[in-house]
Amino acid sequence: MKLKIALLPGDGIGPEVAAQAVACLQAVEETFGHQFEFTEAPVGAIAIDQTGDPLPEATLDLCKASDAVLFGAIGDPKYDNDPAAKVRPEQGLLRLRKELGLFSNIRPVKVFPTLIDKSPLRKERIANTDFVIYRELTGGIYFGEKFLSEDGNTASDLCIYSEEEISRIAHLAFKAAKTRRNKLTLVDKANVLESSRLWRRVVTRIGESYPEVELHYLFVDNAAMQMILNPSQFDVILTENMFGDILSDEGSVIGGSIGLLPSASVGETSAMFEPIHGSYPQATGKNIANPIASILSAAMLLDHFGLDEEAAAVVSSVNKALKKGMVTPDLDPQSKYGTDDVGHFIAGHISDSDDFKGLNQENIGLGKSTII
Ligand code: IPM
Ligand code: MG
């Protein structure tokens, strides 16, 4: 298969981890005989430094002309600590999601058996965790009208949703549930918010077309608690933009490191793959960032294009690294291995063709069922 991939490494540790994802995709190219053409472009703080714009037109055009976008990370403390900044790196990512129509953000949360002891949560609580968050990504409070009064003393952000925005992601989430354990939990705040009540009405109605899927409702505050108390109760979680942002960071704690969680953002015509973590500025250039979330995002890319065996080979290689203790210090403070050691190891084992042939399901950390 020929794929044009726009590579947007972004800020902080973004370039370091994205480089390892590229190395893995190149190993897949060689091993399986595909052609992936990578074209790099700036986004985020680095793009502001270069052009004044966190999403330069040339970057956006490249993404639109590509089959997929591989994204590193975004953000820089110099903007975080300056509430008056008019231009911010995050605007680049948000605009990119909006322009590419990436309305559905898919974030699988699964405990790797080899890492169960690394979690700050008790083993017996988190065993068998395997859920996927469907986060609406181009609506809600992130994109509603913003207001700041002239005296700077009053501000508001509007949380607005249309039925259409809710139903298109709801269908994807129900379809995903059908390929998994037939359970969908809508997370909202319908006891307080009108927009959440719309979500309930729309999702309940759509649920009638998926009779095999059990539909549950949870208020977001309760969901945040349940996710830590008993994460294995969840299969597919469907939620709006900001709740999904918060819950997915919380979900990352279950597996022991935010450096492990990948994501796919998909729309009608485009798809983007990125780790859920941020730019981790304190680690920039130190070769300590965990590349696994980025590498697993590359596996989601492969899966998105139907390259199941290739995705499984990447995931199998990740599992091998974890089993061998070939991990960065976030997972093992004694570890001497850096971002590039872990990435080279994983890329290097993708071609061990004998290993991935006949993979059993247990070895596949990211089942196809979690990815559309
Ligand atoms: C995420 C990030 C982004 C978000 C930021 C960087 C704008 O936290 O992808 O979860 O809030 O969506
Ligand atoms: Mg987030």
Give me the pLDDT at residue 256, please.
82
The answer to whether the CB of 190 is under 6 A from ligand 1 is: no
| Residue 113: inside a domain | no
Nearest-angstrom CA–CA distance, 102 and 216: 25
- For the Cβ of 249 lying below 6 angstroms from any atom of ligand 1, the answer is no
Q: Are residues 164 and 222 in the same domain?
A: yes
What does the pLDDT read at residue 85? Answer: 87
Note whether residue 191 is domain-resident: yes
Decide: helix, strand or coil at residue 187.
strand
Of all protein residues, the one whose alpha carbon is nearest to atom 6 of ligand 1 is 90
Domain of residue 212 covers 120-255
Q: Is the pLDDT of residue 113 over 60?
A: yes
Q: What is the CATH number of the domain that holds 306?
A: 3.40.718.10
Compare 259 and 367 and report the one with higher pLDDT: 259
18 lines ligand 1 (CB under 6 A): no
Q: Which of ligand 1's atoms lies nearest the C-alpha of 75?
A: 6
Is 168 contained in some domain?
yes
Q: What is the pTM of this model?
A: 0.91
Other CB atoms closer than 10 Å to residue 50's CB: what's the count?
10
Question: pLDDT tens digit string along 11-34?
Answer: 999 999 999 999 999 999 999 999
Q: Which of 95, 137, 245 to mutate to test the pocket of ligand 1 (most atoms within 8 A of CB)?
A: 245
Ligand 1 atom having least distance to the Cα of 137:
12
Instruction: Mark whether 311 and 266 lie in a shared domain.
Output: yes
Please report the pLDDT score of residue 118 as a whole number: 84
pLDDT of amino acid 353: 55
Query: What is the band of 354 on the pLDDT scale with cuts at 50, 70, 90?
Result: low
| pLDDT value at 196 more than 50 | yes
- Which DSSP symbol is given to 297? H
- Regarding whether 242 and 127 lie in a shared domain, the answer is yes
Give the end of a domain, one of 208, 235, 255.
Answer: 255
- Tally the domains of the chain: 2
- pLDDT tens readout for residues 216-252: 999 999 999 999 999 999 999 999 999 999 999 999 8
Under 8 Å between Cβ of 70 and 14: no
Cα 355 to ligand 1 centroid, rounded to whole Å: 36
Our CA dihedral for 271, 277, 283, 284, rounded to 10 degrees, sits at 20
pLDDT level of residue 361 (50, 70, 90 thresholds) = very low
Query: What is the DSSP-derived secondary structure letter of residue 127?
Result: T
155 forms beta bridges with: 148
In a domain, 110, yes or no: no
Residues 262 and 185 in one domain: no
Q: Is 90 in the pocket of ligand 1 (CB under 6 A)?
A: yes
114 pLDDT band, cuts 50/70/90, is: confident
| Structural domain includes residue 111 | no
Alpha helices (H) along the chain: 14-32, 45-51, 57-65, 77-80, 89-99, 123-126, 163-179, 194-207, 220-229, 241-254, 292-304, 308-323, 339-350, 353-356
The label of the residue with tokens 């089993």 reads: 323
Q: Which of the listed residues 235, 255, 275 is the one where a domain comes to its end?
A: 255
Cβ–Cβ under 8 Å, residues 100 and 64: yes
Q: How far apart are CA 272 and CA 208, in angstroms?
A: 31
349 part of a folded domain: yes
- Ligand 1 centroid to 332 CA: how many Å? 26
Atom number, ligand 1, closest to the C-alpha of residue 242: 11
The pLDDT value given to residue 255: 84
pLDDT for res 294: 98
Q: Give residue 71's pLDDT.
A: 98
Q: How far apart are CA 194 and CA 182, in angstroms?
A: 28
Q: Is the pLDDT of residue 37 over 50?
A: yes
Average predicted confidence (pLDDT) for the chain: 93
Nearest CA to ligand 1 atom 8: 245
Give a yes or no: residue 195 inside a domain.
yes
The per-residue b/e assignment along 304-328, b for 16 or more CB within 10 angstroms, e otherwise, is beebeebbbbbbbbbbbbbeeebbb
Reference 107, options 5, 254, 217; nearest CA is 254
**Residues 130, 101 share a domain:** no
- Output the pLDDT for position 366: 42
User: Can you read off the two tokens belonging to residue 346?
Assistant: 């994983």
pLDDT confidence tier of residue 9, bands split at 50, 70 and 90: very high
* Banded model confidence at residue 109, pLDDT cuts 50, 70, 90: very high
Q: What percent of the chain has pLDDT over 70?
A: 95
User: Does the pLDDT value for residue 359 go beyond 90?
Assistant: no
Of the residues 196, 220, 255, which one is the last residue of a structural domain?
Answer: 255
Please say if the pLDDT value at position 289 is more than 50. Answer: yes
Ligand 1 centre to CA of 138 (Å) is 12
Does one domain contain both 228 and 287? no
Do residues 236 and 304 both lie within one domain?
no
- Ligand 1 atom 4: residue of nearest CA: 245
- pLDDT tens for residues 301-330? 999 999 999 999 999 999 999 999 999 999
Q: Is 48 in the pocket of ligand 1 (CB under 6 A)?
A: no
Same domain, 139 and 193: yes
305 and 243, same structural domain? no
Average confidence (pLDDT) over 330-350 = 96
Residues in the chain: 372
Assess whether 61 and 188 both reside in one domain. no
- Tell which one of 93, 157, 273 to mutate to probe ligand 1, the residue whose CB is within 8 A of the most ligand atoms: 93
Q: How far is the CA of 323 from the centre of ligand 1 (A)?
A: 30
Please give the distance, rounded to the nearest whole angstrom, from the Cα atom of residue 245 to the centre of ligand 1: 6
Cα of 276 to ligand 2 centre, how many Å?
Answer: 6
Do 138 and 100 share a structural domain? no
| pLDDT at residue number 84 | 83
Same domain, 267 and 251: no
CB within 8 Å of 352: residues ≥ 6 apart: 317
Enzyme catalytic residues: 142, 189, 221, 245, 249
The stretch 42-46 carries a mean pLDDT of 97
| pLDDT at residue 117, rounded to an integer | 87
Residue 276, ligand 1, Cβ within 6 A: yes
Is residue 218 within 8 Å of residue 187, measured between CB atoms? yes
Give the pLDDT band of residue 119 (cuts 50, 70, 90).
Answer: confident
pLDDT at 200 over 80: yes
- Cα–Cα distance for residue pair 280/330, rounded to 1 Å: 12
Residue 112 resides in a domain: no
